[in-house]
Amino acid sequence: MNELSQSIMQVRGLKAGYGEKIILEDINFQVRRGEVFVILGGSGSGKSTLLKNLIGLYAPLAGEVWIEGSNLVVARDDERLLVLRKFGVMYQSGALFGSMTVLDNVRLPLDEFTILPDEVKELVALAKLKLVGLGAAAQKLPSELSGGMQKRAAIARAMALDPRILFLDEPSAGLDPVTSAGLDLLIKELSHHFGITFVIVTHELASIYAIADRVIMLDGRTRSIIAEGKPVELRETSRDPWVRRFFNREPDSAEFEHQPSS
Amino acid sequence: MTAASQHELETEVRITLDKTARVILSGRLDAQTVAGCWNDLQHLRLAAISALEVDATGLTFCDSAGLALLHYLNLGRIAPQAAVSVIGLEPGLNKLFLGFTPADYAAFHRSLHNRRLSLPEEVGNTVRQLITDLHAQVEFVGSVTGKLPPALLDRKQMRWPEVRRVFESAGANAVPIVSLVSTLVGLIIAFESAQPLAQFGAQIYVANMIGLVMVRELGPLLAAILLAGRSASAFAAELGTMKVNEELNALETFGLDPMRFLVLQRIAAGILLAPLLTFYSTFMGILGGVAITIGLGFPLSLILHQLSSSVHLSDVALGAAKGIVFGAIVSAVGCMRGLQTQQGPSAVGVSTTRAVVTSILLIIIADAVFSVIFFFLK
C-alpha cells in the first residue's frame, strides 16, 4: 500500500508492437514519485516503442498504463486531457515549432490551457527559459539555436504547465560530453528542487551513472525487462552477462543474439 | 469540502497612511487562483503608493504561474513608482524566485526591441535579396549554358538512364492531365466563341481561331504551366531534400559536380519533352474545338480545310520554339530553387513554392518576348 502511494506511474502487463509485430510483452514496472527513472536497452530493444506507449502516442496491444491514478489506455477524451497535462515530453530532436520564437514555443501550452493574464504568461515562460539557462535566447527562432540549446528549450516547453513527470527521449543523443553533462546537471537540479519525476530513455552510460536513481533494461530477444535496479548494483551483481557487459561497456561477440530477429 | 479549500487563495490588500501597500497572500497561489488575485490587485495601479510589500508567509502552495505573478509585482509593473519587497517565501521557493531577476527581464525587453526592423531597413533588405537572387539566376544560366553542350556530346557525362527516368515521370506521366486540361480548354473556347460569331454568321471561323490559338499560344502555355506545377515543384523538392539530407555535400566531396550529376539531366529531359508535350496539348485542344464545331453542324472536311488554311508551318515552328524555351525555363528554375534550399523544416516547401511561382512568371515573360519578336519577324 505504501509503495503504491509512493509510485506516480504503474505499468501492468503492457504488450506493445505494430500490428502483427510484437515488440514488447508483459512489461511491468513502477516509477516512484520524484525519482529519475531510466529505460535502457540496446538498439532495437523497443525503448522508443515503450516510451510512445507510455505517453499515449500509440495504443498498447494490451495492458495498463496508470499515471497518477488514471489509466491512460482506456481514459476517455476529457480524462485523457487531464492526464496529458500531468506530464511533459521532450522529443529526441527537440521538436520545437520552427515558425515560433523559443518564448512562443514555451508560451503555447500556457496560451491554450490557462486563463492567466498575458503578462504573467510571458513571465512564466521567461522564468522557465532562465531555469534552463536560455534567458538570452527567448526571442530567437529554434533554427538559430545549437542542438543542446534546442533540447534545453524543449525541456522548458515540456515544463510550461508544471508537470509532475517529464519524459525525455534520448536527451544526450548528438551532444558533446560537456553539453550532455550540463543537461544531466539540469535534470538533477529539476528533480531535486521541484520534485519532478523523470522517465528517461537513453543508452548513454555516463549519463546513466550520473543521474539515474533506478533503471530498467529492455531486451529485444526476450521482448521483456531483463534487469531492474540501481545502475551501480546492476553492473556489479547482475547475473545476466549481457547486462554486466552493457554497464561495463565491454564488446561481446554473442551480442547479436540479444538483438531482435527481424 | 477539502477539494474546494485546496483551490482557495486569500488576497488581502492594506494601504497605510504612509502610502505603503501591504499585500498578504495565503492559501494556494497557482494557475487557477492567479487570475482572481490579478483582478484583486488591479486597483493598486491607480493608488499612489510609494512602497509595496508582498507577504507570502501564508502560502501553502505556489506553482510557476504564482511565481510569475510575484515576479510581475517585483518588477514594479503594477506600481512603477513603488519600492517592492517580497517576503516570507519558504526557502526553496525563494531560491527559485531569486533565480529570475529584474535584470533578466530588462535583457529580454532589449532583445525584443532589437528585433524590429524599420521600413527603410526592410526595403533595403528586400532589394538586396532581389539583386542577390538575380545574380544567382544569371550565374545559374551561365553555368548551365557552359556545361550542357559538352555533356550532351559525351555519353558518359550525361547519365542518359536518369534522363529517361525524368522524361517518363515528368513527360509520359503528365499525359493524362495534359489531355484533360487541353481538351477542356479547347472545348470551352470553341463553345464560348461560337455564340458571338453566330451573330455574324461566321461560326465556321471557330475552327480557324481554335487552330491558331492552340498552336501559337495556348498549346505551349498549357503544357508549360502544367509542367511547372508537376515537374518544377518535383525537381525543387527532390534536389531540396537531397540538400537538406547533405546528399549534395556527399556528391561534392566525391568531386562530383551536382550540376553535372543531377541538374543537366533534368534540363535535357525538360528541353526534349516540353515540345512533345506542347504538340500533344495543341492536338488535344484542337480536338476539343473540332468536337464543338462538328456539334454545330459543319462537316469534318470543311473544318480540316479551314484549319489547314489558317495554320501555317511558321506557326507550328513558333509553338515548337516556345515549347523548347519553356521546357528549359521550367526545368532550370526547378533545379535552381532546389539547389538554393536553406536548412530547416519548411525549407523544402519554400523551395517548391518559389520554383512554381518563378517558372510561371518567367514563362509568361518569355511568351510576351516571343510575341514581340514574331511581330517584327512577320
Nearest to A88 by CA among A219, A190, A204, A14: A190
Say yes or no: B314 and B176 in one domain: yes
Among the partner-chain residues A99, A127, A143, the one whose CB lies closest to the CB of B64 is A127
How far away is chain A from the Cα of B68, in angstroms, using its nearest Cα?
5
Domain C-terminal end among B64, B88, B115: B115
Shortest alpha-carbon distance between residue A114 and chain B (Å): 7
Residue-number span of the structural domain to which B23 is assigned:
2-115
Inter-residue long-range contacts of A147-150, CB under 8 Å, 24+ positions, other chains counted? A147/A94, A147/A174, A147/A175, A147/A179, A148/A175, A148/A176, A148/A179, A148/A180, A148/A182, A148/A183, A150/A93, A150/A94, A150/A96
Sequence-ordered strand ranges (E) for A149-196: 165-169
Length of chain A: 262
Could you tell me if A153 and A137 are in contact, meaning their C-beta atoms sit under 8 angstroms apart?
Answer: yes
CA-closest candidate to residue A89, choices A157, A137, A146:
A157
**B194 and B80 co-located in one domain:** no
Contacts for B284 with CB less than 8 Å, ≥ 6 apart: B178, B179, B182, B183, B186
pLDDT at A40 over 60: yes
Mean pLDDT, chain A, whole residue set: 85
Q: For residues A214 and A229, is the Cβ–Cβ distance under 8 A?
A: yes
- How many domains does one find in chain B? 2
A113, amino acid identity: F
Chain B touched by A130 (CB under 8 Å): yes
Rounded to whole angstroms, the Cα distance separating A81 from A97 reads: 21
List, in order, residues 6 or more apart from A166 with CB less than 8 Å away.
Answer: A87, A88, A89, A90, A155, A158, A159, A190, A196, A197, A198, A199
Chain B CB contacts of A117 below 8 Å = 34-35, 38
**Chain B residues with CB-CB distance to A124 below 8 A:** 64-65, 67-68
Residue A253: band (very low, low, confident or very high) from pLDDT cuts 50, 70, 90:
low
If asked whether residues B153 and B89 sit together in one domain, one would say: no
Check residue A258 and give its pLDDT.
Answer: 52
- All cell numbers assigned to A38: 531510466
Interface check A127 vs B, CB under 8 A: yes
Nearest C-alpha of chain A: how many angstroms from B104?
Answer: 7
- The pLDDT assigned to A1 comes to 44
CA-nearest residue to A97 within chain B is: B345
Q: Is B346 in contact with A98 (Cβ distance < 8 A)?
A: yes
Q: CA-to-CA distance for B95 and B72, rounded, in angstroms?
A: 17
Same domain, B304 and B355: yes
Any chain A CB within 8 A of the CB of B344? yes
Using the Cβ of B63 and the Cβ atoms of chain A, whether some distance falls under 8 Å is answered with: yes
| Claim to verify: residue B129 and residue B102 sit in the same structural domain | no
B34 — contact with chain A (CB < 8 Å)? yes
B196 and B84 in a common domain: no
Cβ contacts of B63 on chain A, cutoff 8 Å: 162
Model confidence over A175-193: pLDDT tens digits?
888 888 888 888 888 888 7
Considering only residues A125 and B115, tell me which one the structure prediction assigns the higher pLDDT: A125
Q: What angle do CA A212, A216, A222 make, to 5 degrees?
A: 155
- pLDDT confidence of residue B184: 97
- Among the three residues B52, B85, B115, which one is the final residue of a domain in this structure? B115
- Nearest residue, CB atoms, A120 vs list B34, B92, B112: B34
Minimal Cβ distance to A143: which of B71, B115, B343: B343
Nearest to A120 among B38, B96, B346 (CB): B38
| Percent of residues, chain A, with pLDDT higher than 90 | 20
- Could B72 and A120 be called an inter-chain contact, meaning their C-beta atoms sit closer than 8 Å? yes
Contact criterion met (CB < 8 Å) for A139 and B108? yes
Contacts of A159 in chain B (CB under 8 A): 64
What is the rounded distance in angstroms from the CA atom of residue A122 to the CA atom of residue A107?
A: 7
Nearest CA in chain A to B116: A139
Residue B261: CB atoms within 10 Å: 16
Cβ contact, residue pair B115, A139, below 8 Å: yes
Interchain CB distance below 8 Å, A162 and B64: yes
- CA nearest to B344, candidates A96, A44, A60, A57: A96
Let me know whether B269 and B156 are in one domain: yes
Q: Is residue B342 helix, strand or coil?
A: coil
Check B65 against A117: CB less than 8 A apart.
Answer: no
Taking a contact as any Cβ pair under 8 Å apart, which residues of chain A between 149 and 178 contact chain B? 159, 161-162
Interface contact B64-A124, CB threshold 8 A:
yes
Q: CB distance from A114 to chain B under 8 Å? A: yes
Chain A partners of B345 at a C-beta cutoff of 8 Å? 98
Question: What is the bridge-based pairing of β-strands A7-18 and A224-229?
Answer: unpaired
What integer pLDDT is reported at residue A6 of this predicted model? 82
| CATH code, domain with B105 | 3.30.750.24
Do B142 and B27 sit in the same domain of this protein?
A: no
The dihedrals phi and psi of B265, each to the nearest 5 degrees, come to -60, -45
**Disruptive mutation site among B108, B114, B116, B350 for chain A (greatest number of A CBs within 10 Å):** B108
Q: Which of B94, B115, B136 is the last residue of a domain?
A: B115
Claim to verify: residue B83 and residue B23 sit in the same structural domain: yes
A120 touches chain B (CB under 8 A): yes
Give the side-chain half-sphere CA count within 13 A for B245: 8
| Residue B95 touches chain A, beta carbons under 8 Å | yes
**What does the pLDDT average to over A72-86?**
86
SS3 content of chain A, % helix, strand, coil (to 5): 40, 25, 35
Of B34, B114, B346, which has the smallest distance from its Cβ to A116's Cβ? B34
Walk along chain B (378 residues) in steps of 10 and give the mean pLDDT of each run. Answer: 56 83 88 86 82 88 87 85 86 83 83 76 94 92 90 83 91 94 96 92 92 94 96 95 89 86 93 95 96 93 93 93 96 95 86 95 96 88
User: Residue B100 and residue A126: Cβ atoms within 8 Å?
Assistant: yes
B81/B130 same-domain check:
no
Residue A224 has a pLDDT of 87
Would you say how long chain B is, in residues? Answer: 378
What sections of B42-101 are H helices per DSSP?
64-74, 91-98
Pull the grid cell for residue B157.
557525362
Q: Distances from the Cα of B14 to the Cαs of A69, B11, B17, B18, B68, in angstroms?
A: 42, 10, 10, 11, 22
Across the interface, of A116, A119, A130, the residue whose CB is closest to B77 is A119
Residues of B with Cβ-Cβ distance to A120 under 8 angstroms: 34, 38, 65, 68-69, 72
Q: Are both B11 and B156 inside the same structural domain? A: no
SS3 content of chain B, % helix, strand, coil (to 5): 75, 10, 15
Distances (CA, A) of B146 to B140, B150, B154, B272, B317: 10, 8, 14, 18, 26
Chain A residue numbers with beta carbons less than 8 Å from the beta carbon of B35 are 115-117
Kind and range of the H or E element at A231? helix A231-237
- State whether residue B7 is helix, strand or coil: coil
pLDDT at A87 over 80: yes
Q: What ipTM does the predicted assembly reach?
A: 0.75
- B111 and B131 both lie in a single domain: no
How big is the A-B interface in CB pairs under 8 Å?
Answer: 76
What does A83-121 look like in DSSP terms, one character per residue? Answer: HHTTEEEE-TT----TTS-HHHHHHHHHHHH----HHHH
**Is pLDDT of A148 > 70?**
yes
pTM of the model: 0.70
Residue among B340, B362, B365 at smallest CA distance from B352: B340
**Cβ contact, residue pair A161, B31, below 8 Å:** yes
Looking up cell 473540332 gives B290
